[in-house]
């Protein structure tokens, strides 16, 4: 073949240069981020909160569909009273929290974005006082307060601006957004039932739980006692819990360390054992 152009030497040099420079590379890749990230990661707006609530409601509906809700109105009211006492000390006043009991013997508790908190009947049966219940609820609330699912799945509102509308018109964005919402719900359920939260999110939720309990006047050691008890309850009832959470020994150690560090390992905290027993009397 005539007129062929040979590959220039500088291209060969560029190719070879790919190989030996590993040691020089930095791990921080913030430099890849463009200035437009400032536009795409703007502060949370009301629409984002609405989207979080809508998303959480969908996930909550799937949870209820899976297990069913307890029909015990008094128990549900009690759970809500405990939950609301924690909400008053939380950091998401824009959310309206809902608390309910799932009708399953599985030992677990779930949080859905937007403020939907569930405790299972199986978990309640393992608890011995209200501070333990408060600890479990506070752990789930921290997942919501810190937006663990929202951040992990990038839940936020779509825009209503003209530019955004044009973009969606060109790119078929409305449909893709709807599909993405549906996919995100499935991912959230995967997180709850299979993969669990990120380890650092669980750590944050545990730390946040004892702090929140202490601020609300509950004995922060309640969560430690609950963990110690269910740590010995191996079996089908804790299958999902064990699969989606870190080992209890490490969590208990972390809780104790946090309580010491925060100076809340002892104090005039309440456990409300009798009140808890009375509330659960009907269900036992």
Partner 1 sequence: MPQTFVKAILLLFTLIACMRGYSIADEFHYNNFLIGDRASGMGGAYTGVSDDPSGLYYNPAGIAYTTGRNLSASVNAFYSLTKKYDNVIGGHGWERNATSLLPNFFGIVQPLGDFKFGFSYAVPDSIKEDQDQAFTGSLPTSLGSPADLYIINFNNEDNTYLIGPSLAYELNDKMSAGMTLYLYHRSGQTTLNQFIHLQDGRFEWTNQYIERVERGFKPIVGLMYTPVEKLSLGVSLAKTFVYSSSLNSQKTFKDANAPTVNDYTREVIDDSSKRKFPYEFRMGAAYFPSSSLLLTIDGIYYTSVHDSVFGNRVSVLNGAVGAEYYFNRNWAVRGGLFTDLANTPEQNPTRSDQPEKIDLYGGSLGVSHFTRNTSVTLGGSASYGTGKAQIVSGSTTTQDAEIFGWTIFLSSSYSY
In the complex with partner 1, which residue's Cβ is closer, 18 or 268? 18
Complex with partner 1: residue 32 or 88, whichever CB lies closer:
32
Minimum distance from residue 156 beta carbon to partner 1 (Å): 8
CB of 92 to partner 1, least distance (A): 21
Residue 14 sits in the site that holds partner 1 (CB under 8 A) = yes
Residue whose CB is less far from partner 1, 26 or 65: 26
Q: Which of residues 25-54 bind partner 1 (CB under 8 A)?
A: 25-29, 31-42
Contacting partner 1 within 144-183 (CB under 8 A): 153-154, 156, 158-159, 161, 163-164, 166-173, 176-177, 180, 183
Six-digit token pair at 220? 């922060």
Question: What pairs with residue 118 in β-bridges?
Answer: 100, 110
Q: How far is CA 138 from the centre of its chain?
A: 12
- Greatest CA separation for the chain: 96
Residue 116's SS3 state is: strand
Q: Closer CB to partner 1, residue 154 or residue 263?
A: 154
Nearer to partner 1 by Cβ, of 29 and 88: the residue is 29
Question: Of 22, 46, 232, 282, which lies in the binding site for partner 1, with binding defined by CB under 8 A?
Answer: 22
The span of 12-20, 81-89, 224-232, 257-265 binding partner 1 (CB under 8 A) equals 12-20
CB of 170 to partner 1, least distance (A): 4
For partner 1, the closer CB: 55 or 78: 55
| 100 membership: H or E segment, kind and range | strand 98-102
Sequential DSSP letters for 84-97: HHHHTTSS-TTS--
284 binds partner 1 (CB under 8 A): no
Q: Please state, as a whole number, how many other Cβ atoms lie within 10 Å of the Cβ of residue 94.
A: 11
Q: Which is nearer to partner 1, 11 or 233 (CB)?
A: 11
Q: What are phi and psi of 265, to 5 degrees?
A: -75, -20
Total number of residues that touch partner 1 (CB under 8 A): 53
Asked if residues 155 and 183 have their Cβ atoms less than 8 Å apart, the reply is no
Residue 232 interacting with partner 1 (CB under 8 A)? no
CB-nearer residue toward partner 1: 19 or 268: 19
Q: How far apart are CA 22 and CA 19, in angstroms?
A: 8
Q: Which candidate, 141, 136, 115, places its Cα nearest to that of 57?
A: 115
Locate tokens 């809902």: which residue? 98
What does the block give as tokens for 188?
């959230």
Place of tokens 């003209």: 162
DSSP 235: S
Euclidean distance between CA atoms 114 and 242, whole angstroms: 25
CB of 10 to partner 1, least distance (A): 8
Q: Say if residues 167 and 173 touch (Cβ distance below 8 Å).
A: yes
Decide if residue 16 touches partner 1 (CB under 8 A). Answer: no
Q: Which residues bind partner 1 (CB under 8 A)?
A: 1-8, 11, 14-15, 17-18, 21-22, 24-29, 31-42, 153-154, 156, 158-159, 161, 163-164, 166-173, 176-177, 180, 183
């Amino acid at each position: 073949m005539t007129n062929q152009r040979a590959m220039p030497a500088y291209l060969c040099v560029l190719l070879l240069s790919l190989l030996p420079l590993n040691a020089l590379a930095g791990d921080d890749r913030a430099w890849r981020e463009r200035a437009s990230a400032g536009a795409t990661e703007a502060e949370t707006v009301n629409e984002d909160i609405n989207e979080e609530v809508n998303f959480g409601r969908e996930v909550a509906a799937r949870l209820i569909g899976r297990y069913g809700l307890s029909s015990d109105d008094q128990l549900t009211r009690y759970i809500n009273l405990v939950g609301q006492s924690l909400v008053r000390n939380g950091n998401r006043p824009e959310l309206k929290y809902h608390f309910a009991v799932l009708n399953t013997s599985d030992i677990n508790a779930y949080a859905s974005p937007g403020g939907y908190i569930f405790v299972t009947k199986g978990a309640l049966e393992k608890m011995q006082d209200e501070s333990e219940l408060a600890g479990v609820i506070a752990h789930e609330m921290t997942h919501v307060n810190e937006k663990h699912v929202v951040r992990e799945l990038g839940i936020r509102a779509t825009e209503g601006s003209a530019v955004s509308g044009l973009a969606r018109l060109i790119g078929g964005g409305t449909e893709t957004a709807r599909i993405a919402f549906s996919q995100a719900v499935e991912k959230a359920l995967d997180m709850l039932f299979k993969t669990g939260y990120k380890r650092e999110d669980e750590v944050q939720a545990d730390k946040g739980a004892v702090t929140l309990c202490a601020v609300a006047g509950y004995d922060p050691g309640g969560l430690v006692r609950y963990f110690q008890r269910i740590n010995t309850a191996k079996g089908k009832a804790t299958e999902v819990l064990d699969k989606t959470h870190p080992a209890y020994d490490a969590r208990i150690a972390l809780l104790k360390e946090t309580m010491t560090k925060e100076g809340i390992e002892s104090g005039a905290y309440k456990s409300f054992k009798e009140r808890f027993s009375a509330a659960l009397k009907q269900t036992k």
